[in-house]
Amino acid sequence: MCGIFACHHHPDVQKFKSTALRMGKAVRHRGPDWSGNVIANNTILVHERLSIVGVNSGAQPLVNEEGTISLAVNGEIYNHRVIRKQLKQPYTFKTNSDCEVIIPLYTEHGIDAPKYLDGMFSWVLHDKKEDRVVAARDPIGITTFYMGRSSKTPGAVYFASELKCLHPVCDSITSFPPGHVYDSKTDLLTRYFTPKWLVEPTNIPTTPVDYKLLRTTLEKSVRKRLMAEVPFGVLLSGGLDSSLVASIAQREIQRLNGAARMAKANGVNGINGVNGVNGVNGNRSGTATPIGQPSDRLVGIDEENELATVQLLPQLNSFSIGLPDAPDSKAAQVAADYLGTRHHNFTFTIEDGLNALSDVIYHLETYDVTTIRASTPMFLLSRKIKAMGIKMVLSGEGSDEIFGGYLYFHAAPDKSAFHQECVRRVKNLHLADCLRANKSTAAWGLEARVPFLDKEFLDVAMNIDPKEKMITKDRIEKYILRKAFDTTDEPETEPYLPENILWRQKEQFSDGVGYGWIDALKDNAELNVSDEDMKNPKPEWGDDIPDTKEA
Protein backbone atom coordinates (compact mmCIF):
# COMPACT_ATOMS: atom_id res chain seq x y z
CA MET A 1 0.00 0.00 0.00
CA CYS A 2 0.92 3.64 -0.40
CA GLY A 3 -0.60 6.81 1.00
CA ILE A 4 -1.84 9.73 -1.10
CA PHE A 5 -3.12 13.22 -0.39
CA ALA A 6 -4.16 15.71 -3.06
CA CYS A 7 -5.89 19.04 -3.40
CA HIS A 8 -7.16 20.56 -6.65
CA HIS A 9 -8.05 24.20 -7.11
CA HIS A 10 -6.60 25.54 -3.88
CA PRO A 11 -6.66 29.38 -3.77
CA ASP A 12 -3.03 29.56 -2.53
CA VAL A 13 -1.37 26.22 -3.22
CA GLN A 14 2.19 27.38 -2.40
CA LYS A 15 1.12 28.56 1.03
CA PHE A 16 -0.89 25.33 1.48
CA LYS A 17 2.11 23.13 0.61
CA SER A 18 3.41 22.79 4.19
CA THR A 19 -0.07 21.72 5.35
CA ALA A 20 -0.37 19.27 2.44
CA LEU A 21 2.96 17.67 3.33
CA ARG A 22 1.81 17.35 6.93
CA MET A 23 -1.42 15.68 5.79
CA GLY A 24 0.63 13.29 3.68
CA LYS A 25 2.83 12.51 6.65
CA ALA A 26 -0.30 11.40 8.55
CA VAL A 27 -0.37 8.29 6.32
CA ARG A 28 3.38 7.66 6.16
CA HIS A 29 2.75 4.31 7.88
CA ARG A 30 1.17 3.23 4.57
CA GLY A 31 4.27 4.18 2.60
CA PRO A 32 7.42 4.35 4.73
CA ASP A 33 9.88 3.95 1.84
CA TRP A 34 9.85 7.41 0.22
CA SER A 35 7.93 10.69 0.05
CA GLY A 36 7.26 12.87 -2.97
CA ASN A 37 5.10 15.80 -4.09
CA VAL A 38 4.27 17.75 -7.22
CA ILE A 39 2.67 21.18 -7.60
CA ALA A 40 1.16 22.18 -10.96
CA ASN A 41 -1.11 25.20 -11.46
CA ASN A 42 -3.19 25.28 -8.26
CA THR A 43 -3.02 21.53 -7.59
CA ILE A 44 -0.74 19.56 -5.25
CA LEU A 45 -0.21 15.79 -5.17
CA VAL A 46 1.54 14.21 -2.17
CA HIS A 47 2.66 10.57 -2.13
CA GLU A 48 4.04 8.28 0.59
CA ARG A 49 5.48 5.19 -1.08
CA LEU A 50 5.64 1.49 -0.23
CA SER A 51 7.90 0.08 -2.96
CA ILE A 52 6.95 -3.39 -4.23
CA VAL A 53 7.14 -3.10 -8.04
CA GLY A 54 9.60 -0.87 -9.89
CA VAL A 55 11.58 -0.54 -6.67
CA ASN A 56 14.52 1.34 -8.24
CA SER A 57 12.58 3.66 -10.52
CA GLY A 58 8.97 3.97 -9.39
CA ALA A 59 9.07 6.96 -7.02
CA GLN A 60 5.87 9.01 -7.12
CA PRO A 61 4.17 11.23 -8.06
CA LEU A 62 4.88 10.01 -11.58
CA VAL A 63 5.26 12.72 -14.25
CA ASN A 64 5.22 12.26 -18.02
CA GLU A 65 8.19 13.31 -20.19
CA GLU A 66 6.60 16.64 -21.13
CA GLY A 67 5.89 17.46 -17.49
CA THR A 68 2.21 18.06 -18.26
CA ILE A 69 0.61 15.11 -16.45
CA SER A 70 1.32 14.08 -12.85
CA LEU A 71 -0.06 11.04 -11.03
CA ALA A 72 -0.23 9.70 -7.48
CA VAL A 73 -1.36 6.08 -7.03
CA ASN A 74 -2.04 3.73 -4.15
CA GLY A 75 -2.27 0.18 -5.42
CA GLU A 76 -1.14 -2.37 -8.01
CA ILE A 77 -1.95 -2.67 -11.71
CA TYR A 78 -1.58 -6.37 -12.50
CA ASN A 79 -2.05 -6.07 -16.28
CA HIS A 80 0.45 -3.24 -16.80
CA ARG A 81 2.71 -5.32 -19.08
CA VAL A 82 -0.24 -6.11 -21.35
CA ILE A 83 -1.36 -2.45 -21.40
CA ARG A 84 2.14 -1.28 -22.38
CA LYS A 85 1.99 -3.44 -25.50
CA GLN A 86 -1.58 -2.45 -26.42
CA LEU A 87 -1.16 1.34 -26.33
CA LYS A 88 -2.10 2.92 -29.66
CA GLN A 89 0.03 6.05 -29.25
CA PRO A 90 3.78 6.01 -28.55
CA TYR A 91 4.65 6.79 -24.94
CA THR A 92 8.10 6.96 -23.39
CA PHE A 93 8.03 5.16 -20.06
CA LYS A 94 10.34 6.68 -17.47
CA THR A 95 9.97 3.85 -14.92
CA ASN A 96 9.26 0.13 -14.51
CA SER A 97 6.37 1.00 -12.21
CA ASP A 98 3.13 -0.87 -12.87
CA CYS A 99 1.28 2.39 -12.17
CA GLU A 100 2.81 4.53 -14.93
CA VAL A 101 0.49 2.99 -17.56
CA ILE A 102 -2.35 5.11 -16.14
CA ILE A 103 -0.84 8.24 -17.75
CA PRO A 104 -0.91 7.00 -21.39
CA LEU A 105 -4.29 5.34 -20.75
CA TYR A 106 -5.64 8.74 -19.68
CA THR A 107 -4.10 10.38 -22.76
CA GLU A 108 -5.86 7.85 -25.01
CA HIS A 109 -9.13 7.28 -23.16
CA GLY A 110 -9.74 10.20 -20.78
CA ILE A 111 -12.05 9.31 -17.89
CA ASP A 112 -12.56 5.83 -19.37
CA ALA A 113 -8.96 4.97 -18.37
CA PRO A 114 -9.98 2.98 -15.22
CA LYS A 115 -12.02 0.54 -17.35
CA TYR A 116 -8.77 -0.86 -18.77
CA LEU A 117 -7.09 -1.48 -15.43
CA ASP A 118 -6.95 -4.86 -13.73
CA GLY A 119 -5.88 -4.33 -10.14
CA MET A 120 -6.56 -2.62 -6.84
CA PHE A 121 -6.08 1.13 -6.89
CA SER A 122 -6.94 4.64 -5.82
CA TRP A 123 -5.35 7.42 -7.83
CA VAL A 124 -5.38 11.14 -8.57
CA LEU A 125 -4.13 12.42 -11.93
CA HIS A 126 -3.60 16.09 -12.82
CA ASP A 127 -3.53 17.36 -16.41
CA LYS A 128 -1.66 20.68 -16.38
CA LYS A 129 -2.74 21.74 -19.89
CA GLU A 130 -6.43 21.34 -19.11
CA ASP A 131 -6.04 22.11 -15.40
CA ARG A 132 -8.10 18.98 -14.88
CA VAL A 133 -8.08 16.38 -12.13
CA VAL A 134 -9.27 12.80 -12.68
CA ALA A 135 -9.47 10.42 -9.71
CA ALA A 136 -10.59 6.78 -9.56
CA ARG A 137 -11.02 3.85 -7.19
CA ASP A 138 -10.88 0.12 -7.98
CA PRO A 139 -14.15 -1.75 -8.72
CA ILE A 140 -14.69 -3.22 -5.23
CA GLY A 141 -12.86 -0.66 -3.07
CA ILE A 142 -9.97 -2.86 -1.95
CA THR A 143 -7.88 0.27 -1.41
CA THR A 144 -9.33 2.90 0.93
CA PHE A 145 -10.06 6.33 -0.59
CA TYR A 146 -11.91 9.48 0.48
CA MET A 147 -12.74 12.90 -0.94
CA GLY A 148 -13.54 16.09 0.88
CA ARG A 149 -14.39 19.78 0.61
CA SER A 150 -14.01 22.79 2.85
CA SER A 151 -16.21 25.83 3.32
CA LYS A 152 -12.96 27.81 3.78
CA THR A 153 -11.79 26.94 0.26
CA PRO A 154 -14.95 26.80 -1.91
CA GLY A 155 -14.23 25.23 -5.28
CA ALA A 156 -11.35 23.12 -3.96
CA VAL A 157 -11.61 19.33 -3.82
CA TYR A 158 -9.43 17.10 -1.64
CA PHE A 159 -8.53 13.39 -1.89
CA ALA A 160 -6.75 11.04 0.52
CA SER A 161 -6.13 7.40 1.39
CA GLU A 162 -7.35 7.87 4.96
CA LEU A 163 -9.73 10.17 6.82
CA LYS A 164 -6.98 11.45 9.12
CA CYS A 165 -5.51 13.42 6.20
CA LEU A 166 -8.78 15.18 5.42
CA HIS A 167 -10.26 15.79 8.85
CA PRO A 168 -7.97 18.76 9.69
CA VAL A 169 -8.63 20.55 6.38
CA CYS A 170 -12.18 19.54 5.32
CA ASP A 171 -15.58 19.99 6.94
CA SER A 172 -17.33 17.68 4.47
CA ILE A 173 -15.88 14.21 3.76
CA THR A 174 -17.30 11.25 1.87
CA SER A 175 -16.02 7.78 1.04
CA PHE A 176 -15.02 7.75 -2.64
CA PRO A 177 -17.37 5.13 -4.13
CA PRO A 178 -15.74 1.97 -5.54
CA GLY A 179 -15.89 1.51 -9.30
CA HIS A 180 -16.26 5.25 -9.90
CA VAL A 181 -14.20 7.98 -11.55
CA TYR A 182 -14.24 11.70 -10.68
CA ASP A 183 -13.70 14.42 -13.30
CA SER A 184 -13.06 18.00 -12.18
CA LYS A 185 -14.28 19.22 -15.60
CA THR A 186 -17.83 18.28 -14.64
CA ASP A 187 -17.30 17.95 -10.86
CA LEU A 188 -19.13 14.63 -11.14
CA LEU A 189 -18.53 11.03 -10.06
CA THR A 190 -19.37 8.45 -12.76
CA ARG A 191 -19.64 4.69 -12.38
CA TYR A 192 -17.25 2.94 -14.78
CA PHE A 193 -17.55 -0.61 -13.39
CA THR A 194 -20.94 -1.80 -14.61
CA PRO A 195 -21.26 -5.62 -14.73
CA LYS A 196 -24.86 -6.77 -14.93
CA TRP A 197 -24.66 -8.74 -11.66
CA LEU A 198 -23.73 -5.54 -9.82
CA VAL A 199 -26.00 -2.93 -11.42
CA GLU A 200 -29.02 -5.26 -11.86
CA PRO A 201 -29.06 -7.44 -8.71
CA THR A 202 -32.68 -8.47 -9.33
CA ASN A 203 -31.60 -10.11 -12.60
CA ILE A 204 -30.77 -13.59 -11.27
CA PRO A 205 -27.99 -15.44 -13.15
CA THR A 206 -28.73 -18.81 -14.78
CA THR A 207 -25.23 -19.94 -15.83
CA PRO A 208 -24.47 -23.52 -14.65
CA VAL A 209 -21.35 -23.92 -12.52
CA ASP A 210 -18.19 -24.75 -14.48
CA TYR A 211 -15.86 -26.21 -11.86
CA LYS A 212 -12.82 -26.19 -14.13
CA LEU A 213 -13.35 -22.53 -15.09
CA LEU A 214 -13.83 -21.58 -11.44
CA ARG A 215 -10.56 -23.28 -10.52
CA THR A 216 -8.44 -21.92 -13.39
CA THR A 217 -9.75 -18.37 -12.94
CA LEU A 218 -8.82 -18.33 -9.25
CA GLU A 219 -5.41 -19.82 -10.08
CA LYS A 220 -4.85 -17.05 -12.62
CA SER A 221 -5.93 -14.45 -10.06
CA VAL A 222 -3.38 -15.68 -7.50
CA ARG A 223 -0.67 -15.84 -10.17
CA LYS A 224 -1.23 -12.17 -11.05
CA ARG A 225 -0.83 -11.19 -7.43
CA LEU A 226 2.62 -12.73 -7.13
CA MET A 227 3.92 -9.70 -9.08
CA ALA A 228 6.60 -8.34 -6.73
CA GLU A 229 10.27 -7.42 -6.37
CA VAL A 230 10.28 -7.84 -2.60
CA PRO A 231 9.76 -10.74 -0.16
CA PHE A 232 6.11 -11.73 0.27
CA GLY A 233 4.00 -14.32 2.07
CA VAL A 234 0.45 -15.55 2.66
CA LEU A 235 -1.97 -15.14 5.54
CA LEU A 236 -3.11 -18.63 6.51
CA SER A 237 -5.97 -18.93 8.97
CA GLY A 238 -6.60 -22.62 8.30
CA GLY A 239 -9.99 -21.83 6.80
CA LEU A 240 -10.90 -22.73 3.23
CA ASP A 241 -10.24 -19.38 1.57
CA SER A 242 -6.76 -18.55 2.85
CA SER A 243 -5.73 -22.20 2.51
CA LEU A 244 -6.72 -22.29 -1.17
CA VAL A 245 -4.83 -19.06 -1.85
CA ALA A 246 -1.76 -20.46 -0.07
CA SER A 247 -2.00 -23.74 -1.98
CA ILE A 248 -2.19 -22.03 -5.38
CA ALA A 249 0.65 -19.63 -4.51
CA GLN A 250 2.85 -22.51 -3.33
CA ARG A 251 2.23 -24.44 -6.57
CA GLU A 252 3.11 -21.42 -8.68
CA ILE A 253 6.30 -20.72 -6.75
CA GLN A 254 7.36 -24.36 -7.00
CA ARG A 255 6.67 -24.26 -10.75
CA LEU A 256 8.75 -21.10 -11.21
CA ASN A 257 11.57 -22.40 -9.03
CA GLY A 258 11.54 -25.70 -10.92
CA ALA A 259 11.68 -23.88 -14.26
CA ALA A 260 14.59 -21.76 -13.05
CA ARG A 261 16.51 -24.80 -11.80
CA MET A 262 15.93 -26.60 -15.08
CA ALA A 263 17.08 -23.57 -17.04
CA LYS A 264 20.21 -23.30 -14.93
CA ALA A 265 20.96 -27.02 -15.36
CA ASN A 266 20.58 -26.65 -19.13
CA GLY A 267 22.66 -23.49 -19.27
CA VAL A 268 19.68 -21.43 -20.47
CA ASN A 269 19.55 -17.86 -19.22
CA GLY A 270 15.87 -17.14 -18.63
CA ILE A 271 12.73 -19.27 -18.66
CA ASN A 272 9.09 -18.21 -18.20
CA GLY A 273 10.30 -14.74 -17.43
CA VAL A 274 12.14 -15.87 -14.32
CA ASN A 275 15.57 -14.62 -15.36
CA GLY A 276 15.09 -12.53 -18.48
CA VAL A 277 11.93 -10.54 -19.23
CA ASN A 278 10.97 -7.59 -21.37
CA GLY A 279 12.20 -4.34 -19.96
CA VAL A 280 10.86 -0.83 -20.55
CA ASN A 281 12.68 -0.15 -23.78
CA GLY A 282 13.06 -3.61 -25.27
CA ASN A 283 14.45 -6.95 -24.17
CA ARG A 284 16.71 -7.22 -21.19
CA SER A 285 18.30 -10.37 -19.91
CA GLY A 286 20.58 -11.33 -17.10
CA THR A 287 20.73 -13.46 -14.02
CA ALA A 288 18.00 -13.64 -11.44
CA THR A 289 18.01 -10.98 -8.78
CA PRO A 290 18.45 -12.30 -5.22
CA ILE A 291 15.49 -12.11 -2.88
CA GLY A 292 14.94 -8.66 -1.45
CA GLN A 293 17.07 -6.97 -4.13
CA PRO A 294 15.33 -4.62 -6.60
CA SER A 295 15.48 -5.34 -10.31
CA ASP A 296 15.42 -3.30 -13.52
CA ARG A 297 13.05 -5.82 -15.07
CA LEU A 298 9.38 -5.46 -15.86
CA VAL A 299 7.53 -7.89 -13.58
CA GLY A 300 3.92 -9.02 -13.96
CA ILE A 301 1.56 -11.08 -16.13
CA ASP A 302 1.83 -11.09 -19.92
CA GLU A 303 -0.74 -11.87 -22.66
CA GLU A 304 -0.15 -15.62 -22.27
CA ASN A 305 -0.87 -15.41 -18.53
CA GLU A 306 2.79 -16.15 -17.77
CA LEU A 307 4.26 -14.53 -14.68
CA ALA A 308 7.54 -12.66 -14.96
CA THR A 309 9.12 -12.23 -11.57
CA VAL A 310 12.46 -11.71 -9.88
CA GLN A 311 11.36 -13.64 -6.83
CA LEU A 312 13.09 -17.01 -6.58
CA LEU A 313 11.77 -18.10 -3.22
CA PRO A 314 13.34 -21.07 -1.42
CA GLN A 315 10.08 -21.40 0.56
CA LEU A 316 6.78 -19.60 0.77
CA ASN A 317 6.26 -18.00 4.20
CA SER A 318 2.79 -18.37 5.75
CA PHE A 319 1.47 -16.57 8.83
CA SER A 320 -1.31 -17.09 11.36
CA ILE A 321 -2.21 -15.64 14.76
CA GLY A 322 -4.51 -16.59 17.61
CA LEU A 323 -4.89 -16.89 21.34
CA PRO A 324 -3.14 -19.99 22.72
CA ASP A 325 -4.86 -23.17 21.40
CA ALA A 326 -7.00 -21.19 18.92
CA PRO A 327 -8.94 -23.41 16.45
CA ASP A 328 -7.67 -21.50 13.40
CA SER A 329 -4.04 -21.74 14.47
CA LYS A 330 -4.26 -25.54 14.74
CA ALA A 331 -5.93 -25.82 11.31
CA ALA A 332 -3.39 -23.42 9.80
CA GLN A 333 -0.55 -25.64 10.98
CA VAL A 334 -2.20 -28.67 9.38
CA ALA A 335 -2.54 -26.79 6.07
CA ALA A 336 1.03 -25.44 6.25
CA ASP A 337 2.49 -28.90 7.00
CA TYR A 338 0.65 -30.31 4.01
CA LEU A 339 1.64 -27.49 1.63
CA GLY A 340 5.23 -27.29 2.84
CA THR A 341 5.18 -23.57 3.58
CA ARG A 342 7.54 -22.06 6.12
CA HIS A 343 4.87 -21.39 8.71
CA HIS A 344 4.93 -18.79 11.50
CA ASN A 345 2.21 -19.36 14.07
CA PHE A 346 2.06 -16.35 16.38
CA THR A 347 0.04 -16.03 19.57
CA PHE A 348 -1.31 -12.97 21.34
CA THR A 349 -2.81 -12.50 24.76
CA ILE A 350 -6.14 -10.91 25.57
CA GLU A 351 -4.19 -8.10 27.24
CA ASP A 352 -2.21 -7.56 23.99
CA GLY A 353 -5.48 -7.21 22.12
CA LEU A 354 -7.06 -4.84 24.63
CA ASN A 355 -3.92 -2.71 24.75
CA ALA A 356 -3.99 -2.38 20.96
CA LEU A 357 -7.63 -1.25 20.69
CA SER A 358 -6.99 2.50 20.60
CA ASP A 359 -4.32 2.04 17.91
CA VAL A 360 -6.61 -0.27 15.92
CA ILE A 361 -9.41 2.31 15.98
CA TYR A 362 -6.97 5.10 15.02
CA HIS A 363 -5.87 3.18 11.94
CA LEU A 364 -9.27 1.69 10.97
CA GLU A 365 -11.11 4.99 11.40
CA THR A 366 -14.28 3.15 12.37
CA TYR A 367 -16.08 2.19 15.59
CA ASP A 368 -17.89 -0.76 13.97
CA VAL A 369 -17.90 -3.58 16.53
CA THR A 370 -17.52 -6.53 14.14
CA THR A 371 -14.74 -4.85 12.16
CA ILE A 372 -12.73 -3.99 15.28
CA ARG A 373 -13.13 -7.48 16.74
CA ALA A 374 -11.68 -9.05 13.59
CA SER A 375 -9.10 -6.34 12.88
CA THR A 376 -7.25 -6.48 16.18
CA PRO A 377 -5.57 -9.89 15.62
CA MET A 378 -4.81 -8.92 12.00
CA PHE A 379 -3.27 -5.64 13.17
CA LEU A 380 -1.03 -7.49 15.66
CA LEU A 381 -0.09 -10.11 13.07
CA SER A 382 0.83 -7.46 10.49
CA ARG A 383 3.34 -5.93 12.86
CA LYS A 384 5.02 -9.32 13.34
CA ILE A 385 5.10 -9.92 9.58
CA LYS A 386 6.64 -6.54 8.79
CA ALA A 387 9.29 -7.10 11.46
CA MET A 388 10.39 -10.18 9.48
CA GLY A 389 11.07 -8.09 6.36
CA ILE A 390 7.94 -9.12 4.44
CA LYS A 391 6.22 -6.29 2.52
CA MET A 392 3.29 -8.03 0.82
CA VAL A 393 0.86 -10.82 1.74
CA LEU A 394 -1.95 -12.63 -0.04
CA SER A 395 -5.23 -12.85 1.87
CA GLY A 396 -8.59 -14.60 1.47
CA GLU A 397 -11.11 -11.76 1.84
CA GLY A 398 -14.23 -11.72 -0.35
CA SER A 399 -14.99 -15.42 -0.72
CA ASP A 400 -17.77 -15.49 1.89
CA GLU A 401 -19.54 -12.59 0.19
CA ILE A 402 -19.23 -14.09 -3.30
CA PHE A 403 -20.33 -17.63 -2.38
CA GLY A 404 -22.67 -16.92 0.54
CA GLY A 405 -20.29 -18.48 3.03
CA TYR A 406 -21.61 -16.89 6.21
CA LEU A 407 -23.66 -19.24 8.33
CA TYR A 408 -26.77 -17.04 8.20
CA PHE A 409 -27.01 -17.83 4.45
CA HIS A 410 -28.48 -21.17 5.61
CA ALA A 411 -31.72 -19.24 6.11
CA ALA A 412 -31.98 -17.92 2.52
CA PRO A 413 -35.59 -18.64 1.42
CA ASP A 414 -34.77 -18.94 -2.29
CA LYS A 415 -32.01 -18.43 -4.84
CA SER A 416 -33.14 -14.89 -5.67
CA ALA A 417 -32.77 -13.75 -2.06
CA PHE A 418 -29.45 -15.62 -1.80
CA HIS A 419 -28.02 -13.87 -4.89
CA GLN A 420 -29.22 -10.41 -3.90
CA GLU A 421 -27.68 -10.78 -0.46
CA CYS A 422 -24.36 -11.83 -2.07
CA VAL A 423 -24.44 -8.73 -4.28
CA ARG A 424 -25.25 -6.51 -1.30
CA ARG A 425 -22.36 -7.99 0.68
CA VAL A 426 -19.89 -7.57 -2.21
CA LYS A 427 -21.04 -3.95 -2.68
CA ASN A 428 -20.38 -3.26 1.01
CA LEU A 429 -16.97 -4.96 1.21
CA HIS A 430 -15.24 -1.56 1.06
CA LEU A 431 -16.92 -0.67 4.36
CA ALA A 432 -16.05 -3.94 6.10
CA ASP A 433 -13.56 -6.68 5.19
CA CYS A 434 -11.67 -4.67 2.55
CA LEU A 435 -11.32 -1.77 4.98
CA ARG A 436 -10.14 -4.19 7.68
CA ALA A 437 -7.59 -5.94 5.48
CA ASN A 438 -6.30 -2.72 3.94
CA LYS A 439 -5.91 -0.60 7.03
CA SER A 440 -4.86 -3.36 9.48
CA THR A 441 -1.90 -4.23 7.24
CA ALA A 442 -1.13 -0.72 5.95
CA ALA A 443 -0.77 0.42 9.57
CA TRP A 444 2.63 -1.31 9.48
CA GLY A 445 3.61 -0.65 5.85
CA LEU A 446 2.41 -4.07 4.71
CA GLU A 447 0.31 -4.64 1.57
CA ALA A 448 -2.54 -7.16 1.44
CA ARG A 449 -3.64 -8.53 -1.95
CA VAL A 450 -6.99 -10.30 -2.30
CA PRO A 451 -7.29 -12.81 -5.19
CA PHE A 452 -10.99 -13.56 -4.63
CA LEU A 453 -11.83 -9.97 -5.61
CA ASP A 454 -10.17 -10.22 -9.01
CA LYS A 455 -12.36 -8.65 -11.71
CA GLU A 456 -12.28 -11.75 -13.95
CA PHE A 457 -12.92 -14.15 -11.07
CA LEU A 458 -15.86 -12.03 -9.89
CA ASP A 459 -17.32 -12.13 -13.40
CA VAL A 460 -17.23 -15.94 -13.35
CA ALA A 461 -18.35 -16.48 -9.76
CA MET A 462 -21.10 -13.85 -9.57
CA ASN A 463 -22.71 -15.06 -12.80
CA ILE A 464 -23.19 -18.65 -11.58
CA ASP A 465 -26.79 -19.68 -10.98
CA PRO A 466 -27.19 -18.99 -7.21
CA LYS A 467 -29.10 -22.29 -6.86
CA GLU A 468 -25.64 -23.89 -7.11
CA LYS A 469 -24.38 -21.83 -4.13
CA MET A 470 -27.25 -22.45 -1.73
CA ILE A 471 -26.63 -24.38 1.49
CA THR A 472 -28.71 -27.56 1.77
CA LYS A 473 -28.67 -30.74 3.82
CA ASP A 474 -26.32 -32.19 1.17
CA ARG A 475 -24.22 -29.08 0.61
CA ILE A 476 -21.98 -27.25 3.09
CA GLU A 477 -21.42 -23.50 2.65
CA LYS A 478 -19.19 -22.63 -0.36
CA TYR A 479 -19.76 -26.13 -1.72
CA ILE A 480 -18.99 -25.21 -5.35
CA LEU A 481 -15.67 -23.58 -4.43
CA ARG A 482 -14.65 -26.65 -2.42
CA LYS A 483 -15.80 -28.95 -5.23
CA ALA A 484 -13.79 -26.98 -7.81
CA PHE A 485 -10.60 -27.82 -5.92
CA ASP A 486 -11.55 -31.39 -4.96
CA THR A 487 -9.29 -33.66 -7.01
CA THR A 488 -10.74 -36.98 -5.73
CA ASP A 489 -11.72 -37.93 -9.30
CA GLU A 490 -8.41 -36.72 -10.77
CA PRO A 491 -5.78 -39.29 -9.76
CA GLU A 492 -3.15 -37.55 -11.93
CA THR A 493 -3.60 -34.25 -10.02
CA GLU A 494 -1.91 -33.61 -6.68
CA PRO A 495 -4.59 -32.59 -4.13
CA TYR A 496 -4.67 -28.88 -3.38
CA LEU A 497 -5.51 -29.37 0.30
CA PRO A 498 -6.05 -32.21 2.78
CA GLU A 499 -9.71 -33.21 2.96
CA ASN A 500 -10.15 -32.00 6.55
CA ILE A 501 -9.15 -28.48 5.46
CA LEU A 502 -10.93 -28.42 2.08
CA TRP A 503 -14.21 -29.45 3.73
CA ARG A 504 -13.67 -27.73 7.10
CA GLN A 505 -16.75 -25.96 8.54
CA LYS A 506 -16.36 -22.20 8.65
CA GLU A 507 -15.25 -20.41 11.84
CA GLN A 508 -16.04 -16.73 12.23
CA PHE A 509 -12.62 -15.00 12.26
CA SER A 510 -13.12 -13.56 15.74
CA ASP A 511 -13.99 -17.03 17.07
CA GLY A 512 -11.29 -18.78 15.10
CA VAL A 513 -8.53 -16.75 16.74
CA GLY A 514 -9.76 -17.98 20.14
CA TYR A 515 -13.18 -18.12 21.73
CA GLY A 516 -12.14 -15.88 24.65
CA TRP A 517 -11.46 -12.78 22.53
CA ILE A 518 -15.05 -11.57 22.08
CA ASP A 519 -15.94 -12.40 25.69
CA ALA A 520 -12.95 -10.36 26.84
CA LEU A 521 -14.09 -7.35 24.81
CA LYS A 522 -17.58 -7.55 26.29
CA ASP A 523 -16.21 -7.99 29.84
CA ASN A 524 -13.85 -5.04 29.39
CA ALA A 525 -16.73 -2.87 28.18
CA GLU A 526 -18.79 -3.89 31.21
CA LEU A 527 -15.97 -2.67 33.48
CA ASN A 528 -15.54 0.66 31.71
CA VAL A 529 -19.08 1.67 30.71
CA SER A 530 -21.80 2.06 33.32
CA ASP A 531 -25.54 1.66 32.90
CA GLU A 532 -25.76 5.42 33.50
CA ASP A 533 -23.39 6.05 30.56
CA MET A 534 -25.69 4.02 28.32
CA LYS A 535 -28.67 6.20 29.32
CA ASN A 536 -26.88 9.47 28.54
CA PRO A 537 -25.52 9.48 24.98
CA LYS A 538 -22.91 12.09 24.13
CA PRO A 539 -24.10 15.01 21.96
CA GLU A 540 -21.31 14.44 19.39
CA TRP A 541 -22.71 10.99 18.59
CA GLY A 542 -25.77 12.53 16.92
CA ASP A 543 -28.06 9.77 15.69
CA ASP A 544 -25.30 7.13 15.77
CA ILE A 545 -25.95 5.99 19.35
CA PRO A 546 -24.27 2.71 20.45
CA ASP A 547 -26.74 0.03 21.49
CA THR A 548 -24.26 -2.06 23.49
CA LYS A 549 -21.53 -1.23 25.97
CA GLU A 550 -18.88 -2.69 23.68
CA ALA A 551 -20.04 -0.39 20.87
DSSP string, 58-122: --SSEE-TTS-EEEEEEEEETTHHHHHHH-SS--------GGGGHHHHHHHHGGGGGGG--EEEE
Q: Which of 284, 311, 286 is nearest to 96 (CA)?
A: 284
Helix axes 327-339, 240-265, angle to 10 degrees: 20
**Catalytic-residue membership of 434:** no
Q: Per the residue annotation, which of 2, 7, 170, 434 is the catalytic one? A: 2
Pairwise CA distance, residues 156 & 306, whole Å: 44
DSSP code for 171: S
Alpha carbon separation from 448 to 125, 234, 386, 481 (Å, rounded): 24, 9, 12, 22
Amino acid at 46: V
Pairwise CA distance, residues 481 & 506, whole Å: 13
Work out the number of other CB atoms within 10 angstroms of the CB of residue 115: 14
Query: 318 phi and psi, to 5 degrees?
Result: -125, 150
Using CB atoms within 10 Å of the CB of residue 8, give its burial: 0 to 12 exposed, 13 to 18 middle, 19+ buried. buried
Query: 301 phi and psi, to 5 degrees?
Result: -90, 140
Alpha carbon separation from 548 to 103, 253, 513, 518 (Å, rounded): 49, 47, 23, 13
Work out the number of other CB atoms within 10 angstroms of the CB of residue 149: 18
Amino acid at 373: R
**CA dihedral of residues 198, 200, 206, 207 (deg, nearest 10):** -30
Pairwise CA distance, residues 57 & 257, whole Å: 26
Pairwise CA distance, residues 58 & 62, whole Å: 8
Catalytic positions are: 2
